[in-house]
Structure formats: structure tokens, C-alpha cells
């Protein structure tokens, strides 16, 4: 999330009541998760296992639960509960409406048809010549390009599935990102596309999604991808351009699929996959290698 205007280390420390290590006027431009964080942004870390990763990331402000040596050119915010205070910062700068207030601030292009049963959140932008079918839900801050079709029952911009266990219960990391649907995209019936936690979940130009597809938070689908029914893609994945994903594929979080890859039905993806190849299997492997193993196993009988 990028703040509407730059903040300082001191102003952020005052919001969350944290100790700061660094100059009071050290610039703070926004917040982000570790996999997407950029220069000028805050990242949080609350486990020693991930201290080095956070301290050596592109983040220039680290919200951390222990005072440690501060890397040169960076600043620290020391908090007893970085998870809680990351939420506090995000919700301070991004108001959460959850359809409780009809403020709208809707922008809609020429030639767009939106059925009367569609529910639209606040600060939504919809481009030209779109067709939004009945019972679609469009969450706050969603951006939809031109010539987009969204069929019935689809939800854009639901909360990210991102929790920690605290005192025997689950505590949510609040989602302040959005969903971006680029031009010439078609989304089928009853799909669910979660908004980013601090950034955007993106469906690239010209991509086609079948019915009953789940796309997790902060995932980026490239251009001209084809995704079949009952596919589930977890958060923070990157699907490069012109990838084909057949039915019931499941993808674990944080993985990348290269340009032009084909994932055959029921493939399970738990690692990065190179582009230009066809994959199959419970743990994805090249289809030709899978077939070779099947032949070997049959010959052992």
C-alpha cells in the first residue's frame, strides 16, 4: 500500500506507540508484504527465523519485535506485536467499509452494463463496454478495465485468507489492497478473487477464467492465460503470460509458473515451474517424465 502522501518514521511511530531507531524525518512511503516490498516501505517480522530475510529485503523500514542492529540506510520500529501494529498502520491510512456505508465514488465508462442486482463497494472504477451479470459483488477499490465480462455470482475483492493463531483463536491480517482486472478479461460464474493484503491481485489483459475458480491475495495472473473450472491458486503466486491451467489444478502459495506452460488437470504445484513445458501429477513434473515413469512401473509387474 502506498500512502497518499509520504509519512515520516516519527509519525508512524506515534500512530502505533513504537520505539524508533533512525532519524525522525526518515521518509516512509507505504507498507507491503515481504515478497513484494519496495524501497521506502515498511515490512513486519515477528519471528527470529525471518529476521535476516526482513532486514535484508528491499524494505527500508522494518517493524520488528526485538531491538537488533539496524542495517545501514534503513530504520526500525520496535513493537511488542508487529502483526497487530501492521494492521493498525494499514487501517489508519485505508478505511475499511465492508459494504457498511454507501459512499461509492464510482467511475464507469461508456457502454458498460451493470445488472441492478450487482453490489458495488466504494472507490470502484469500471471501464468501457463491460458486461457485469446478476449477483456479482465488487469490493472496495476494485479496478476493472475495458471490454470485461464478469458472469453471475462472482466476487471480486473479498478478504485475503491470511491469519495467525493467537491465544487459541485466529487473528486476521486485514486486507487493504485491491483487485485489478485488465482489459478484455472474461470471468465465469461463481469465481472468487481475493484482494491483496497491501498490494493488488491482478488478472492480466485478455485472460479467460472458467467457472468456480479461486484466486488468492496478491497473486498475479499474466496476459492471455486460460484457466479452467475448479482451479485453486493460493496467494502471492505469479502466473506468467499465456499459461494454460486445466481443471482442478491446485497451486500452493508463493510459486511462479513460467510463460507458455500448460498444467494438465488435477496437477498439484508446490514449486516454481519453467515456462514452455507441460506438467502433470500430484507433485507437478514434466508430462513426458511422468509418462516415462508410468511405463517403467508397468514393466515391473
Q: What is the mean pLDDT of residues 114-119?
A: 97
When pLDDT is cut at 50, 70 and 90, the band that residue 300 belongs to is confident
Query: CATH topology of 2-93 equal to that of 107-289?
Result: no
Question: Whole-angstrom Cα distance, residue 16 to residue 82?
Answer: 10
Domain boundaries, the chain: 2-93, 107-289
pLDDT value of position 95:
87
pLDDT value of position 283:
94
pLDDT value of position 297:
85
pLDDT value of position 100:
85
Q: In what order do the strands lie in the sheet with 149-150?
A: 113-114, 131-132, 149-150, 186-187, 208-209, 226-227, 244-245, 262-263, 278-280, 285-286
Q: What is the mean pLDDT of residues 175-186?
A: 97
Question: Whole-angstrom Cα distance, residue 63 to residue 77?
Answer: 5
Three-state SS letters, 130-180:
CEECCCCEECCCCEECCCCEECCCCEEEECCCCEEEECCEEEECCCCCEEE
Q: What is the mean pLDDT of residues 198-210?
A: 97
Angle subtended by helix axes 82-93 and 9-16, to nearest 10: 110
Q: Is the sign of the CA dihedral 32, 34, 36, 37 positive or negative?
A: positive
Q: Look up the pTM and report it.
A: 0.94
Q: What is the mean pLDDT of residues 11-37?
A: 96
CATH of region 2-93: 3.40.1390.10
Is 75's pLDDT higher than 80?
yes
Is 254's pLDDT higher than 90?
yes
Q: What is the mean pLDDT of residues 122-151?
A: 97
Q: What is the mean pLDDT of residues 206-235?
A: 98
Q: What is the mean pLDDT of residues 222-240?
A: 98
Contact 91, 15 (CB under 8 A): no
Q: Which residues are catalytic?
A: 217
When pLDDT is cut at 50, 70 and 90, the band that residue 25 belongs to is very high
Q: What is the mean pLDDT of residues 240-268?
A: 98
pLDDT value of position 126:
98
Per-residue CA distances from 74 to 41, 54, 60, 214 (Å): 10, 11, 5, 37
Contact 160, 235 (CB under 8 A): yes
pLDDT value of position 77:
98
Greater model confidence, 256 or 97: 256
- Per residue in 185-200, pLDDT tens? 999 999 999 999 999 9
Q: Is 113 exposed, middle or buried (0-12, 13-18, 19+ CB in 10 A)?
A: exposed
Q: Which three cell numbers stand for residue 127?
A: 471501464
Is 68's pLDDT higher than 70?
yes
The mean pLDDT of the chain is 96
pLDDT value of position 301:
65
Per-residue CA distances from 114 to 6, 118, 129, 130 (Å): 36, 7, 10, 8
Q: Is 119 exposed, middle or buried (0-12, 13-18, 19+ CB in 10 A)?
A: exposed
Is 160's pLDDT higher than 90?
yes
Give 194's strand partners: 158
Per cent of the chain over pLDDT 90 is 90
Considering only CA atoms, which of 9, 11, 54, 8 is closest in space to residue 33? 54
Under CATH, what is the fold of the domain 107-289? UDP N-Acetylglucosamine Acyltransferase; domain 1 (2.160.10)
Is 211's pLDDT higher than 70?
yes
Is 130's pLDDT higher than 90?
yes
pLDDT value of position 155:
98
Question: Whole-angstrom Cα distance, residue 140 to residue 99?
Answer: 8
Q: In what order do the strands lie in the sheet with 107-108?
A: 107-108, 125-126, 143-144, 178-181, 200-203, 220-221, 238-239, 256-257
Q: What is the mean pLDDT of residues 249-257?
A: 97
Amino acid at each position: 500500500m502506498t500512502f497518499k502522501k509520504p509519512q515520516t518514521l516519527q509519525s508512524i511511530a506515534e500512530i502505533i506507540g513504537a520505539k524508533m531507531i533512525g532519524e525522525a524525518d526518515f521518509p516512509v512511503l507505504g507498507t507491503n508484504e515481504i515478497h513484494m516490498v519496495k524501497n521506502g516501505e515498511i515490512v513486519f517480522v515477528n519471528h527470529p527465523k525471518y529476521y535476516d530475510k526482513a532486514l535484508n529485503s528491499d524494505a527500508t523500514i522494518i517493524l520488528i519485535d526485538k531491538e537488533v542492529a539496524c542495517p545501514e540506510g534503513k530504520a526500525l520500529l520496535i513493537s511488542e506485536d508487529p502483526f497487530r501494529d501492521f494492521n493498525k498502520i494499514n487501517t489508519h491510512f485505508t478505511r475499511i467499509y465492508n459494504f457498511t456505508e454507501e459512499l461509492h465514488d464510482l467511475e464507469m465508462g461508456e457502454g458498460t452494463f451493470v445488472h441492478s442486482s450487482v453490489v458495488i463497494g466504494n472507490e470502484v472504477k469500471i471501464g468501457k463496454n463491460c458486461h457485469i451479470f446478476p449477483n456479482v459483488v465488487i469490493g472496495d477499490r476494485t479496478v476493472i478495465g475495458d471490454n470485461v465480462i464478469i458472469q453471475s455470482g462472482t466476487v471480486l475483492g473479498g478478504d485475503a485468507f491470511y491469519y495467525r493463531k493467537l491465544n487459541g483463536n485466529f487473528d486476521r491480517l486485514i486486507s487493504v489492497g485491491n483487485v485489478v482486472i485488465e482489459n478484455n478479461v472474461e470471468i465465469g460464474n461463481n469465481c472468487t478473487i481475493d484482494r491483496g493484503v497491501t498490494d493488488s491481485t491482478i488478472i492480466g489483459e485478455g485472460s479467460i477464467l472458467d467457472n468456480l475458480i479461486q484466486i488468492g491475495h496478491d497473486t498475479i495472473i499474466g496476459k492471455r492465460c486460460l484457466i479452467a473450472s475448479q482451479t485453486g491458486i493460493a496467494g502471492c503466486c505469479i502466473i506468467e503470460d499465456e499459461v494454460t491451467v486445466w481443471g482442478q489444478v491446485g497451486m500452493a502459495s508463493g510459486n511462479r509458473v513460467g510463460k507458455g506452460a500448460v498444467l494438465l488437470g488435477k496437477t498439484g504445484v508446490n514449486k516454481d515451474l519453467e515456462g514452455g513445458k507441460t506438467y502433470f501429477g500430484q507433485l507437478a513434473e514434466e508430462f513426458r517424465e511422468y509418462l516415462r515413469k508410468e511405463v517403467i512401473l508397468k514393466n515391473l509387474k
